[in-house]
Amino acid sequence: MPAIIPQPLQVSTPQGTTALSLDGAVFIAGPSATEQRIALQASALMSADAGVTVPLTEAPEPGAPAIQLRIDAAAGPEGSDHPERYTVDTTVRPAVVSGATPAGLYYGVQTLRQLVTTDTFGAPALEAVVVTDAPRYGWRGLTLDIARNFFPMKQLEIVIDVLASYKFNVLHLHLTDDQGWRIENPSRPELAKLSSDTSNSGKAGGYLTLADFRQLQDYAAERFVTVVPEIDMPGHTNAATAIYGDLRPDGKATDKYEGMEVGFSQLTFDLPTTEPFIRDVLTDMAGITDGDYLHVGGDEALTLGAEEYAKFITLLEDVVADTGKQVIMWQEAAAAPTRPGTIVQYWDTRSDKTPFVEAAKRGSRFIMSPGNHAYLDMKYTAEYPLGQDWAGLIEARTAYDWDPATVIEGVPEDQIHGVEAALWTETLSTQDELFDMLLPRLTATAEVAWTAPERKDWEDYRARVAVAAASWRRDGLAFHQSPQIDW
Ligand code: ACM
């Protein structure tokens, strides 16, 4: 069986079929601009994976091994109407990759890449299989903190490449926190200009310009990844109060901050400057964001009383609604209470679940990021040099062994919007450190988010991860050599 991550819904290897040689192979594609574009992406990716050029051509030479790419409503498992469904069949000639939508076709290509093997002569070939597949959850994301330490465009693009290869479709960027403001706001340019030279490491400052954010969203969109920006409020706001003294009751700007503590900073509801600040910043973000979502934080506002906190949550819901976007907040907001349309992101498993069950009863949907499984900044082992441990130690198996449907009893499965891994960067400031924490665990989250529970199997996954590492080595991506995996 091929080593596909995440494990597809159905994989079969019919008897008597042989590998498709990639020697002289070509892609052919349907006529639409989207099919042609995805075929060009497939050609570039497959050529790198297989080590031989597999060009896109209009008319293949007779007898040349060909792989046909097309958008086709009939793609995917029998009876599935999931928009991301796809089929890969390398047992027929030409081989076929079909997706019900452009995203489905793109995911078929990602699966095709994982079929690269060598034939009996040692030449590159594709394993002969039929895969029909569709995801369990439509929202499969990574929360990436670029506020504690900033990571530049090139590194963010590599993160997107890796996300896309494991069929993630959301990059949620935590853009603001006590340690820095990492996005240019047209109406408040001083935020990024004056409050981005700080960071947890003391060396990884910086911010995304408007042009960067534009480019990043385009890069992500070509890979079917939606960028969800997070402006964290009303806590985690020291980067703002360090610039605007008038956001403070005493009128004095706070000191800049490069420490590790959380929960000390806040906005103040009753100041006349507060709502205009929130409106300016969120209207800016809505204006520059292609996706339908704005995340507005809501976590760890530990210095606020419940009443003032609740007023903030309602205001944030109102302001985001006024921008036309859909609001997402961290779990604390559920107790405020949140409105039915607010998406709640679950993270701290130590907390009382009652407010989440209540929010679910009101109609909220949930993104599951339980800290003890999905927080990929947790150390692998107690002695691990990187990461934190407050939510537990997370080796590969712990990242793998959980079910989003059972993490909060009382939240019905059909109100689970999806899954996000999270990577907080207090202790991480280089690309190698980032990927050391992401890999292999991100592939575990990929399978949690995509694969039906009855298709998940730790022993089988372990073997597939070892195969996946070949591409990480080739691409120079750091990864943790987990002792749970036979590399
Ligand atoms: C969080 O980890 N404070 C969302």
Provide mean pLDDT across the span 428-452. 98
Give residue 425's domain range.
139-456
Please give the model's pTM, rounded to 2 decimal places.
0.98
Mean pLDDT of the chain: 97
CA gap 223, 211 in Å, rounded: 19
**236 Cα nearest atom in ligand 1:** 3
When pLDDT is cut at 50, 70 and 90, the band that residue 394 belongs to is very high
| DSSP for 336-357, written as a single string | TTPPTT-EEEE--TTS-SHHHH
Which letter does DSSP use for residue 429 in this model? -
pLDDT at residue 119 greater than cutoff 90: no
Same domain? For 47 and 78 the reply is yes
Smallest CA-to-CA distance from 38 within 71, 10, 61 is with 71
296-323 pLDDT per residue, tens = 999 999 999 999 999 999 999 999 999 9
Among the residue ranges 68-77, 198-207, 375-384, the one predicted with the least confidence is 198-207
Query: Where among 133, 149, 174 does a domain terminate?
Result: 133
- Of 143, 233, 348, the one to substitute when testing ligand 1's pocket (max ligand atoms within 8 A of C-beta) is 348
**297 Cα nearest atom in ligand 1:** 4
**What is the β-pairing status of strands 130-133 and 10-12?**
antiparallel
Give me the amino acid identity at 72.
Answer: D
**What are the contacts of 399-402 at 24+ separation with CB within 8 A?**
399/373, 399/374, 399/441, 399/444, 399/445, 400/444, 400/447, 400/448, 400/456, 400/458, 400/461, 401/373, 401/458, 402/370, 402/373, 402/374, 402/448
Indicate whether residue 400 lines ligand 1 (CB < 6 A).
Answer: no
State the total domains in the chain: 2
Specify the pLDDT at position 121: 87
Provide mean pLDDT across the span 421-450. 98
Give me the amino acid identity at 485.
Answer: I
Q: How many CA atoms lie within 13 A of 224 on its CB side?
A: 25
Indicate whether residue 435 lines ligand 1 (CB < 6 A).
Answer: no
Q: How far is the CA of 297 from the centre of ligand 1 (A)?
A: 8
Residue 484: inside a domain, yes or no? Answer: no
| Strand positions, DSSP E, 249-300 | 293-297
Same domain? For 128 and 222 the reply is no
Q: How far is the CA of 255 from the centre of ligand 1 (A)?
A: 22
Residue 54: inside a domain, yes or no? Answer: yes
pLDDT at residue 18 greater than cutoff 90: no
**424 Cα nearest atom in ligand 1:** 2
Q: How far is the CA of 278 from the centre of ligand 1 (A)?
A: 20
Q: How far is the CA of 318 from the centre of ligand 1 (A)?
A: 22
Same domain? For 72 and 148 the reply is no
pLDDT at residue 195 greater than cutoff 90: yes
Same domain? For 261 and 384 the reply is yes
Specify the pLDDT at position 15: 86
Residue 83 preceded by cis peptide, ω within 30: no
Q: How far is the CA of 349 from the centre of ligand 1 (A)?
A: 11
Percent of the chain with pLDDT over 90: 96
Specify the pLDDT at position 14: 87
- Of 296, 300, 368, the one to substitute when testing ligand 1's pocket (max ligand atoms within 8 A of C-beta) is 300
Provide mean pLDDT across the span 345-353. 97
236-293 pLDDT per residue, tens = 999 999 999 999 999 999 999 999 999 999 999 999 999 999 999 999 999 999 999 9
| Strand positions, DSSP E, 13-79 | 20-21, 26-29, 66-71
14-to-17, 91, 129, 356 alpha-carbon distances in Å: 6, 8, 7, 47
Same domain? For 147 and 262 the reply is yes
pLDDT at residue 17 greater than cutoff 90: no
When pLDDT is cut at 50, 70 and 90, the band that residue 332 belongs to is very high
When pLDDT is cut at 50, 70 and 90, the band that residue 46 belongs to is very high
CA gap 414, 411 in Å, rounded: 8
Provide mean pLDDT across the span 184-199. 97
**Atom 3 of ligand 1 has which residue's CA nearest to it?**
299
Indicate whether residue 346 lines ligand 1 (CB < 6 A).
Answer: no
Provide mean pLDDT across the span 417-421. 98
Burial (Cβ within 10 Å: 0-12, 13-18, ≥19) of residue 61: exposed
When pLDDT is cut at 50, 70 and 90, the band that residue 63 belongs to is confident
pLDDT at residue 120 greater than cutoff 90: no
Residue 260: inside a domain, yes or no? Answer: yes
Residue 194 sits in a domain whose CATH number is: 3.20.20.80
Query: Where among 109, 133, 157 does a domain terminate?
Result: 133
Residues marked as catalytic: 300
CA gap 230, 424 in Å, rounded: 13
Provide mean pLDDT across the span 384-395. 98
Strand partners, 422: 143, 375
Same domain? For 240 and 369 the reply is yes
Residue 35 sits in a domain whose CATH number is: 3.30.379.10
Q: Is 377 in contact with 427 (CB distance < 8 Å)?
A: yes
Provide mean pLDDT across the span 333-345. 97
Give me the amino acid identity at 371.
Answer: G
**Atom 1 of ligand 1 has which residue's CA nearest to it?**
299
